[in-house]
Amino acid sequence: MAAEFSGKVALVTGTTGIACSTALRLSSAGAQVVALGIDEAGNRALAEADPTIVVRHADVSASLEVEAALADLRSRFGRLDVIVNSAAIHPYGDAVGTDPDTFLRCLAVNVGSIHLTAHWGVPLMRASGSGAIVNVSSVQGHACQPGVAAYVASKGAIHALTRAMALDFAADKIRVVSVSPGSVRTPILALAARTFDGDDADLDAVFARFGASHPIGRIGEPEEVADFIAYLASDKAGFITGSDHIIDGGLTAGIGVR
């Protein structure tokens, strides 16, 4: 495992939850990792967990900030082999209750950031001769709960954008896939727990309740998703592109009838 990504450079958006675990997983396998995040506490925690990771404060929905981050990556390492787009926000509300600015902000972070990292990153991948892009979507891009209009719109858009990018960059030997996790122990899931059970919610109890809706009987761990992302970004997945990959403990295998 230590040499799996040796000599490769990876860009990860986000520094908490799945993004944090993915950055650590790729680094442990030999990659030089640059992580972009706006969460200062998450940035500090990731930098402390692995000082070899370059952690940069950046709003990944802002073109100039992503451009600057990719310019810095190029000057440091001279190449780019892997992009993992994991940064996300999760507002709650239906189409009436979600104000337009919130809706557009969700799309800008969750989907627009994927365009920006490709816009500035794919030319570096082309120069390197190949690459892999993994976009983190959600099972809510396939089937959703009520009251999450902006989030599910963004996650469904990720599936479509993944297909488009896979076709557009196949000739450059750049593979593009997405992963769609179910409930995973992340800050976003903690937000869900507090949204539905109050700020003083017992997170372990709420997570157990969420996990009970998954046939496997529990929620997922971010390290499990990170391992899957690392596989999809590796040469072992060389014939996989344009597809979405569900990792949800069986959640979407069933229907809600009891």
- Res 14 pLDDT > 90: yes
- Whether residue 4 lies inside any domain: the answer is no
- Whether residue 257 lies inside any domain: the answer is no
Dihedral pair phi/psi, residue 93, rounded to 5°: 140, 155
SS (H, E, C) 230-257: HHHHCHHHCCCCCCEEEECCCHHHCCCC
Please report where in the chains the tokens 């992302």 appear, as a residue: 229
Distance CA 231, CA 225 (A): 10
- Whether residue 3 lies inside any domain: the answer is no
Task: Summarize pLDDT for 171-230 with one digit per residue, the tens.
Answer: 999 999 999 999 998 888 888 888 777 888 888 888 888 888 899 999 899 999 999 999
Considering its fold, how many domains does the chain have in total? 1
Span 49-57, average pLDDT: 98
Q: What is the CATH number for 84?
A: 3.40.50.720
Task: Summarize pLDDT for 73-112 with one digit per residue, the tens.
Answer: 999 999 999 999 999 999 999 999 999 999 999 999 999 9
- Whether residue 258 lies inside any domain: the answer is no
Q: What is the pLDDT of residue 212?
A: 87
- Res 2 pLDDT > 60: no
- Whether residue 1 lies inside any domain: the answer is no
- Structural domain containing residue 178: 9-250
- Whether residue 138 lies inside any domain: the answer is yes
- Whether residue 219 lies inside any domain: the answer is yes
Distance CA 131, CA 234 (A): 9
- Whether residue 129 lies inside any domain: the answer is yes
- Res 55 pLDDT > 80: yes
Q: Is this prediction's pTM over 0.85?
A: yes
Could you give the angle at the alpha carbon of 122 between the alpha carbons of 29 and 20, nearest 5°? 40
Active site residues: 151
